[in-house]
Chain A
Amino acid sequence: MFDGERLAARLRFVMHSNDQAYITGVGAFLPGEPVPSAAMEDFIGRIGGRGSLMGRRALRWNGVETRHYALSPGGRPNHSNAGMCALAVRRALDDAGLGPEDLGFLAAATTQGDFLVPGHAAMVHGELGCGPIEIASFQSVCASSLMAAKSAYLSVRTGEHRVAAACAGEFSSRWFQPSFYEGSSLLDDKQRLKPQADYLRFTLSDGAGAVLVEPAPRPQGLSLRIRFIDLVSLAGQFDPCMWAGAGLESHAEALDGWSHLGPQAAHRAGGLALLQDFDLLKRVIRAWVGVYLKKVDEGRIVPDEIDHLLCHYSARSLREEIVSLLEKTNGMIPEEKWFSNLATVGNVGSASIWVMLEAFLRSDRLKPGQTVLCVVPESGRSMVGFMLLEAVG
């Protein structure tokens, strides 16, 4: 970005006519040391004292080699979800050359906070310990990250706030512990955990990430102008695909959820564990591709103009026919433009996109003027988010 443009952006802001928003800082927090696949069950435990049969298959499919856990072998926690988020926010502030006292707005996302009540943003604010600020909590799965980011982006664009943070964190390993499954109908006749539950234990891990949003690029170094954040939910057509709070058989009926059954009956029904419907996932993946191609068709996303793609789904986990369909419809962004650290940091759910963006920026691949498309699919009840960024500075 030319200095003139930077000056103009600053002037627009001073004159209250600014309608741009820039990511000026990124932070990530990954707890502990990387854990290799062979040691995973020391951390998440062994159901009924026996190793998993599903694990290897899950790892082959998701491509994760090492990941991080916020607890020690045996299950003792070393952090809280909110605490990891607060650390990520501090790192993002630090990256932007700011401190907690500069923050005006905090949007916090997670799949499941430390408590059921109050909201995650309040818990993160508590851990940050800074003065009175505006907050907003977003609870969904992976795409909650972009819900929070959109809130931060809009609050800056409308001039409500000058410094807004969006953070996302996950502490998945705590509810992968054997006690969440033992004594429930999620174990089969041989006391093996059903694949709908076991698969996610070998797929998701812990960590947090955050971005800082301001109405002007930072004085030095690269900033990322947010061109748009689009979120599309398809929940109107699909039942829950990845869920917790209801057992395997009754997850389409909200009244069969844990809070209506009561905690003990809910546990017996398998209603306190995180579960995935694989058959539905195949349909949901096609629907994501449909949403993406519609964006391409409308000109909202122009594949040829994308310099870098960040997605916490690996290209190789998409089935061959999906890749072939993307290629035949001029929708494919070539694999050499995909950046991913999924294999080394694991799938950190909502935090993934920020953890990936942080590593991407550190990799020095990004040049001024280039575009970065972030794609955040969420199987929860089927949604997909897109964020298009442009490097300035």
Chain B
Amino acid sequence: MTTTTVADVLRRLTVVFTEFERRLEQTPLIRKLTRGRFEMADYHAFLIGLRQQVKDGALWMSRAASNIDEDHLELRSTLMRHAVVEHRDFRLLEADFVAAGGDLETIRNAEKNIGSEALSAWMFHEASKPNPFGLLGAMWIIEGLGSIKACEWGALAQQRLDLPDTAVRFLLYHGENDAEHIGEFEQMLGMVLPSEAVAARIIRTAEVTARLYALQIEEITA
């Protein structure tokens, strides 16, 4: 019998993330950004689009923590700490929006786009299950996006639009903040592995989350 190790899961998650990056590169919004055709309206739409998922992030994480049993208290603590650290991030994002010339009411009243609806529904659905360990795969995607993609995008947007530092804090801060995340993530995987079923669920959850997250970006239009 083969045992799926933490390293095996990390490798598969890295492959899933690569596929995720491929999809992101091909979305109209990111194409505009990398080809120098990104305008202020695109940046506004981008922040509006991101805000929904950022706001929900700490909420589904809290719900997931509440569904973790007492055999996995350390994982529960970790998720709760994550939720606390992140649950006000959407305020920072709103402040960036205003610093970039947007109107606070606009971003606060904006609707979720189709991708955000799907992503949010999926995350809460998964978080509502007993011991929702698959969500580690979702965290890999979403936090990987924060630590790897967000600062690239923030730097490009700042350069193209000549934005002040106060207007790109959310995107840039995430890049700096998440540098340690692989090590911490490895520890979390160690709390639920080895288990073939859990490993498979983590990979699958990462794949679905990546697809829905990319859909959210695809659906952002200025």
Segment 1-47 of B: residues with Cβ below 8 Å from A: 5, 7-8, 10-12, 14-15, 17-19, 21-22, 25-26, 34-36
Interface residues on A, range: 20 to 34
SS of B interface (majority): helix
Q: Which residues of A have CB within 8 Å of B186?
A: 328
Segment 158-209 of B: residues with Cβ below 8 Å from A: 179, 182, 186
Distance A329 CA – B189 CA, assembled complex (angstroms): 13
Q: Which residues of A have CB within 8 Å of B155?
A: 279
26 A-B contacts, Cβ less than 8 Å apart?
A: A236-B22, A236-B26, A237-B21, A239-B34, A252-B35, A280-B34, A283-B152, A286-B148, A287-B18, A289-B14, A290-B15, A290-B19, A291-B18, A293-B18, A294-B15, A297-B11, A297-B15, A321-B179, A324-B182, A325-B14, A328-B7, A328-B10, A329-B8, A329-B10, A330-B7, A330-B8
- Does the CB pair A249–B36 fall under 8 Å? yes
Knowing A282-B152, A325-B182, A330-B7 touch, does A239 contact B14 (C-beta < 8 A)?
A: no
Top 3 closest pairs, chain A to chain B, by CB: A290-B18, A329-B11, A330-B7
Q: Which residues of B have CB within 8 Å of A128?
A: none
Knowing A287-B21, A290-B18 touch, does A331 contact B26 (C-beta < 8 A)?
A: no
Check A296 for interface membership: any CB of B closer than 8 A.
Answer: yes
Check A338 for interface membership: any CB of B closer than 8 A.
Answer: no
Instruction: Enumerate chain B interface residues (CB-CB to A < 8 A).
Output: 5, 7-8, 10-12, 14-15, 17-19, 21-22, 25-26, 34-36, 148, 152, 155-156, 179, 182, 186
User: CB within 8 A of B18: which of A249, A294, A328, A331?
Assistant: A294
Select from chain A the residue with minimum beta-carbon distance to B34: A239
Q: Which residues of A have CB within 8 Å of B182?
A: 321, 324-325, 328
Q: Which residues of B have CB within 8 Å of A287?
A: 18, 21-22
Distance A297 CA – B11 CA, assembled complex (angstroms): 7
Distance A324 CA – B19 CA, assembled complex (angstroms): 20
Shortest CB distance B152–A (Å): 7
Knowing A252-B35, A324-B182 touch, does A331 contact B11 (C-beta < 8 A)?
A: yes
Distance A294 CA – B10 CA, assembled complex (angstroms): 12
Check A59 for interface membership: any CB of B closer than 8 A.
Answer: no
- Does the CB pair B21–A283 fall under 8 Å? yes
Check A238 for interface membership: any CB of B closer than 8 A.
Answer: yes
Shortest CB distance A111–B (Å): 24
Q: A297-B11, A325-B14, A330-B11 are in contact. List 8 more A-B contacts (CB 8 A).
A: A252-B35, A287-B22, A290-B15, A293-B18, A294-B15, A297-B12, A328-B182, A329-B7
Q: Which residues of B have CB within 8 Å of A321?
A: 179, 182
SS of A interface (majority): helix
- Does the CB pair B21–A286 fall under 8 Å? yes
Distance A286 CA – B7 CA, assembled complex (angstroms): 18
Distance A51 CA – B25 CA, assembled complex (angstroms): 38
Distance A282 CA – B22 CA, assembled complex (angstroms): 14
Q: Which residues of A have CB within 8 Å of B152?
A: 279, 282-283
Distance A328 CA – B13 CA, assembled complex (angstroms): 12
Q: Which residues of A have CB within 8 Å of B156?
A: 279
Segment 274-316 of A: residues with Cβ below 8 Å from B: 279-280, 282-283, 286-287, 289-291, 293-294, 296-297
Check A234 for interface membership: any CB of B closer than 8 A.
Answer: yes
Segment 156-173 of A: residues with Cβ below 8 Å from B: none
- Does the CB pair A238–B25 fall under 8 Å? yes
Shortest CB distance A168–B (Å): 28
Most buried by A among B14, B36, B186: B14
Distance A222 CA – B22 CA, assembled complex (angstroms): 41
Most buried by B among A236, A280, A329: A329
Select from chain B the residue with minimum beta-carbon distance to A238: B25
Distance A287 CA – B18 CA, assembled complex (angstroms): 6
Distance A331 CA – B155 CA, assembled complex (angstroms): 30
Select from chain A the residue with minimum beta-carbon distance to B37: A252
Select from chain A the residue with minimum beta-carbon distance to B23: A237
Shortest CB distance A320–B (Å): 10
Distance A214 CA – B148 CA, assembled complex (angstroms): 46
- Does the CB pair B11–A286 fall under 8 Å? no
Distance A289 CA – B11 CA, assembled complex (angstroms): 10
- Does the CB pair A239–B35 fall under 8 Å? yes
- Does the CB pair B14–A329 fall under 8 Å? yes
Distance A289 CA – B14 CA, assembled complex (angstroms): 9
User: CB within 8 A of B14: which of A234, A237, A280, A290?
Assistant: A290
Select from chain B the residue with minimum beta-carbon distance to A296: B11
Distance A287 CA – B10 CA, assembled complex (angstroms): 16
Shortest CB distance A335–B (Å): 18
Shortest CB distance A122–B (Å): 36
Shortest CB distance B128–A (Å): 31
Distance A328 CA – B34 CA, assembled complex (angstroms): 30
Shortest CB distance B201–A (Å): 17
User: CB within 8 A of B15: which of A234, A293, A330?
Assistant: A293
Shortest CB distance A269–B (Å): 15
- Does the CB pair B25–A237 fall under 8 Å? yes
Shortest CB distance B124–A (Å): 29
Distance A350 CA – B57 CA, assembled complex (angstroms): 46
- A217-252 CB mask vs B (1 if < 8 Å, else 0) is 000000000000000001011110000000001001
- Does the CB pair A290–B34 fall under 8 Å? no
Distance A303 CA – B208 CA, assembled complex (angstroms): 29
Most buried by A among B7, B12, B22, B25: B25
Select from chain B the residue with minimum beta-carbon distance to A298: B15
- Does the CB pair B11–A293 fall under 8 Å? yes
Shortest CB distance B47–A (Å): 21
Q: Which residues of A have CB within 8 Å of B22?
A: 234, 236-237, 287
Select from chain A the residue with minimum beta-carbon distance to B186: A328
